[in-house]
Structure 1
Amino acid sequence: MSVEAAPVCYRHTDRESHIRCQRCERPICPDCMKSAAVGFQCPECVREGQRSVRQGRPLNFGPSGPVVTYALIGINLAVWALILIAPSVAHLLSLHLADYCSSQGYPRLGFDSAGCAAYGGTFAPGVWHGGPWELITSAFTHQQAWHIATNMISLWMIGPLVEQALGRWRYLVAYLVCGLGGSLLVVAAGPQVGYTLGASGAIFGLLGILVVLFIRRGLPLQQLGSVLALNLVLTFALHNVVSWQGHIGGLLTGLAIGALYAYTPLGRRRRILQR
């Protein structure tokens, strides 16, 4: 009866080995065992894996920090403070699909600007009736303290990651475009009565950008995916009090921006996007 020889390390043939690389299945000795996500790999497979994964840069903003994120938070807080002083400002900046008259804290429908003024109210034109600025300004408008607190905490946590990945000016443009995308879906599918406001659409857009960048760079999605899934569940569970159209519109816009930035083929268009 013949006895099969014990396997030996492929790099050290004088060493018996009963452990195999999880990637190439070659025998490896303890000196060649490199810890991997599952089991152990040989040094060559570890180096090959490191070359195939694009490494993200550390968050290093220099002495000034993520200034665009700080500026966006500051603008939102300044607008909120102005609304506390003059509540009627909220109606001028919020997104209205139809002309809106607010008098003594109550909405009054069917009034033009003259009729609203006669009632002593504040008139806000519909977005297509002379108020196109509302598509953007609504993303900087909050009324309740809990609303601006949750949005600004989210922006403070997510914004620096996107600002580092895209660069300051591209990040600023992406934030505004995501807010615009949320507003456009509100216009297309939102209620015809009332108004919407808040930075949630833009923040959902930043989440969408991060999801695409994580996928492109081979980074784990467990935590980010859990955050996004939780926010989507809350969006639809609370659809009577939040604008799901704004959230989904911002998210879809962010996914599109992330894909455009991350997957544009190398060449002139890529250089323009990443300049």
Structure 2
Amino acid sequence: MTDPQAAADPSVCYRHPDRQSWVLCQRCGRTICPECQILAPVGVQCPECVREAGGSVKWQPTGGSSLQKAARRRSRPRWVQNTLGLLHPDSNAPVLTYGILGASVLFWLIGFFTANLPATFLAAFPAKEIAWQVWRYFTSVLIFPAILDFRVVLSFLLSCVFFFLIAPSAERSFGRSRFLLVFASGAVVGSAASVVFGYDGYGFSGALFGLLAGFFIVQRSMGGVGTQLLIIVALNVVISIALGGNLAMLFGGLIGGGLAAFIIGRFEYRARSKPSTPIALIIAIWVVAIAAATVRLLAIAPAGVGG
């Protein structure tokens, strides 16, 4: 039905005077909004012209689906809209950082009520019984022993603080996929190095140092010096030594993350390089590190997990 007020104003839809539009029906010339625009063999027509055509034109509002989707989005609760916004590929929010940090805290808290069950099944230990449990080199980064000891708790809290300060910037700078590759490389190589040198492998240290190495590689490739990063690395090493930390994991993470960042920068933007080349090379680093740890574990006498 034509609205008299809309008929006098050519800038609004003749059926919906509250909707501004500049699209005209190809038959009658009246203004129609997206909901009233119906696809015709040539251009769009209004609903009344379609009826007059005797149904020869397919009824398919051009903006109907988009309007319905927009309405559904508006009807969602605010927290759902915010969550979906964070997960959108174009979002700049460091969702991987938040997810990793949240999972680590959750596993740590669960450990207090389950006699360290997450550490028992997910951390890397120098014990022959876990020689073929390769998933531990990937999951150990999320694990920290649930022990009410001042030094252990302080070490966990400091790791979380440093990770929260460094990882979001790394995720935004690298992008989520590159961040995940560098992070995983630091975690895997760091955990494997821990096992090779006879230490328990767990916590953010290896992955965190891998991200720092990645930052350093990027800065050097852009002509920077990276002095601040070297100071941060040195500070973390000093803190780790003071708290009886695992230096094998720190330097293993540095090597793993640095190699991953170097490979990504070296091959990702080469014209002749396949997109899968950097990923294949990084996975090869993981395989070598895990193989070295496995050989080391098979060469030692059986021991209790965590012993």
Cα displacement (A) at 1:230: 2.0
Please give the alpha-carbon distance, in whole angstroms, between the structure 2 residues aligned to 1:234 and 1:153. 13
Structure with the largest fraction of helix: 2
Deviations 1:199-223 (A, max 9, x none): 1111111111011011111234222
2:219 to 206, 210, 214: 214
Please give the alpha-carbon distance, in whole angstroms, between the structure 1 residues aligned to 2:223 and 2:277. 21
Cα displacement (A) at 1:87: 2.4
Q: Which runs of 5+ in 2 are unaligned?
A: 1-88, 146-151, 280-307
Q: Which runs of 5+ in 1 are unaligned?
A: 1-60, 100-125
1:245 aligns with 2:248: yes
Cα displacement (A) at 1:77: 1.1
When Rg is computed on C-alpha atoms for both structures, the one with the higher figure is 2
Cα displacement (A) at 1:189: 2.2
Deviates further, 177-186 or 62-71? 62-71
Q: Structure 1: which amino acid aligns with 2:167?
A: G
Give matches, 1:42-191, under 5 Å: 65-89=93-117, 90-98=119-127, 126-128=129-131, 130-143=132-145, 144-191=152-199
Please give the alpha-carbon distance, in whole angstroms, between the structure 2 residues aligned to 1:274 and 1:92. 30
2:294 corresponding residue in structure 1? none
Deviates further, 241-250 or 168-177? 168-177
TM-score relative to the length of structure 1: 0.59
Please give the alpha-carbon distance, in whole angstroms, between the structure 1 residues aligned to 2:178 and 2:197. 28
- SS of equivalent residue, structure 1 residue 242: coil
Q: Structure 2: which amino acid aligns with 1:221?
A: G
Q: 1:139 to 1:63 in 2, by over 3 A?
A: closer
How many residue pairs match? The answer is 183
Q: Would you say the 8 A contact 1:201–1:251 is kept in 2?
A: yes
2:228 to 199, 215, 223: 223
Q: Structure 2: which amino acid aligns with 1:219?
A: G
Q: Would you say the 8 A contact 2:191–2:202 is kept in 1?
A: no
1:255 corresponding residue in structure 2? 258
Q: Structure 2: which amino acid aligns with 1:94?
A: A
Please give the alpha-carbon distance, in whole angstroms, between the structure 2 residues aligned to 1:132 and 1:274. 22
Q: Structure 1: which amino acid aligns with 2:249?
A: G
Q: Would you say the 8 A contact 2:181–2:260 is kept in 1?
A: no
Q: Would you say the 8 A contact 1:212–1:259 is kept in 2?
A: yes
Give matches, 1:30-45, under 5 Å: none
TM-score relative to the length of structure 2: 0.53
| Identical pairs, percent | 23
Q: What RMSD in Å do the two structures reach over aligned CA positions?
A: 2.6
Structure with the largest fraction of strand: 1
Q: Would you say the 8 A contact 1:127–1:133 is kept in 2?
A: no
Q: Structure 2: which amino acid aligns with 1:184?
A: A
Q: Would you say the 8 A contact 1:182–1:202 is kept in 2?
A: yes
- SS of equivalent residue, structure 1 residue 186: helix
1:268 aligns with 2:272: yes
Q: Structure 1: which amino acid aligns with 2:226?
A: L
Please give the alpha-carbon distance, in whole angstroms, between the structure 2 residues aligned to 1:95 and 1:127. 8
